[in-house]
C-alpha cells in the first residue's frame, strides 16, 4: 500500500507539470459551459420542462460536469501504449510492484491532477461571478454524500482507464479503442446530455451502466435530484461497479502479461 501511494504521488507530480494547459482548459470548459447553459435555459423558457430536472438543477449539472470533464476515462495510459510498441514494456513488467496497482495509481493521477487545478477555479466562477439564472447552486445537506459519490466516480473512472490500458496487449495501437469507448462512455455518463432528458426506460438502462457511476451519479446527488436514501443506493451501485471493474481489470492484465512476448534486444 505504501508503494501504491508513492506511485500516485509521483504520477501526480508528473501530471501537475502541465499547469498552463490545465488553466487553459478552465477557459475552454467555461465557454462550453455557458453555451450548454444558454441552450438549456432556452429549452426551459420554451415550456419544455417535463424532464424531472429543474432549470437550476440543469445549470448546476452543466457546471459540475464541465468542472469534472477530465475525470472521464478519455484514454488509457498513453505512455504504456508507447511502451508496447518499442519494447520498454519489458522493464515495466519487471518492476517488483503489482502491475494492476501500478497502472491503477497512474490512472488515478491522470484523473485527479486536472481536477486539483480546474475544478476549484471553475466552480468558484460559477458560484460567484455568473448571473443569477446561470449560477451554480449546490444541495448543501447532500454535499458529504455528493463528495463521497464523486470520489467513487473517480475510482470507477480510474478502474476503467486501467482496463483500457490492459487492452493494449492485444492491439497494434491503442488509438482505436481510445477513440471509440470514451465517446460511448461520455454519452452514457451524461456528459453530453443529462440522463434526466432521456425517456425513463432509457434512463434506467443507462444509469445501471458503469459510465453513469462516473459522472451522472455524483452530479444528481450534488444538484439535489436525490434524497438521502436514493443517494445511498447510488453510492452502493458505484461501489459494486468499482469492485467488478477491479476484478475485470486484474483478469485482463493477468491474461495480457501471460501472452506478452518482447522480441529484440
Span of 47-56, 132-141, 187-196 with lowest mean pLDDT? 47-56
User: Directed axis angle between helix 55-67 and helix 99-128, to 10°?
Assistant: 130
What is the predicted pLDDT for the residue at 215? 93
* pLDDT tens per residue across span 237-264: 999 999 999 999 999 999 988 887 776 5
Query: Of all residues in the chain, what percent are helix, strand and coil, respectively (each to 5)?
Result: 75, 0, 25
The model's pTM is 0.88
List, for residues 18-32, the tens digit of each pLDDT value.
667 667 778 888 999
Is 218 in contact with 149 (CB distance < 8 Å)?
yes
Instruction: State pLDDT tens for residues 59-73.
Output: 999 999 999 888 888
Which phi and psi (to 5°) does residue 194 adopt? -50, 140
CA separation for the pair 24, 1 (Å, rounded): 34
CA 183 to chain centre: 12
Phi-psi label, residue 47: left if phi above 0, alpha if psi -120 to 50, beta otherwise: left
Amino acid at each position: 500500500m505504501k508503494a501504491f501511494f508513492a506511485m500516485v504521488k509521483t504520477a501526480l507530480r508528473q501530471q501537475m507539470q502541465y499547469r498552463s494547459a490545465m488553466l487553459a482548459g478552465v477557459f475552454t470548459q467555461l465557454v462550453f459551459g455557458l453555451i450548454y447553459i444558454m441552450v438549456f435555459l432556452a429549452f426551459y423558457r420554451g415550456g419544455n420542462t417535463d424532464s424531472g430536472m429543474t432549470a437550476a438543477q440543469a445549470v448546476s449539472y452543466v457546471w459540475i460536469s464541465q468542472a469534472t470533464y477530465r475525470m472521464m476515462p478519455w484514454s488509457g495510459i498513453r505512455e504504456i501504449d508507447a511502451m508496447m510498441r518499442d519494447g520498454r514494456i519489458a522493464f515495466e513488467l519487471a518492476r517488483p510492484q503489482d502491475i494492476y496497482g501500478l497502472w491503477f495509481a497512474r490512472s488515478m493521477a491522470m484523473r485527479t491532477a486536472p481536477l486539483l487545478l480546474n475544478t476549484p477555479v471553475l466552480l468558484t466562477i460559477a458560484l460567484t461571478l455568473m448571473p443569477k439564472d446561470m449560477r451554480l447552486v449546490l444541495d448543501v445537506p447532500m454535499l458529504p454524500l455528493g463528495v463521497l459519490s464523486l470520489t467513487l466516480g473517480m475510482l470507477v473512472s480510474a478502474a476503467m482507464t486501467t482496463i483500457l490500458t490492459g487492452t493494449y496487449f492485444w492491439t497494434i495501437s491503442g488509438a482505436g479503442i481510445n477513440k471509440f469507448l470514451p465517446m460511448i462512455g461520455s454519452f452514457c455518463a451524461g456528459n453530453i446530455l443529462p440522463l434526466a432528458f432521456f425517456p425513463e426506460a432509457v434512463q434506467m438502462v443507462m444509469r445501471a451502466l458503469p459510465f453513469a457511476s462516473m459522472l451522472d451519479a455524483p452530479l444528481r446527488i450534488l444538484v439535489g435530484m436525490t434524497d438521502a436514501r436514493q443517494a445511498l443506493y447510488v453510492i452502493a451501485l458505484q461501489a459494486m461497479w468499482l469492485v467488478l471493474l477491479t476484478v475485470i481489470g486484474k483478469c485482463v492484465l493477468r491474461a495480457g502479461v501471460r501472452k506478452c512476448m518482447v522480441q529484440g534486444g
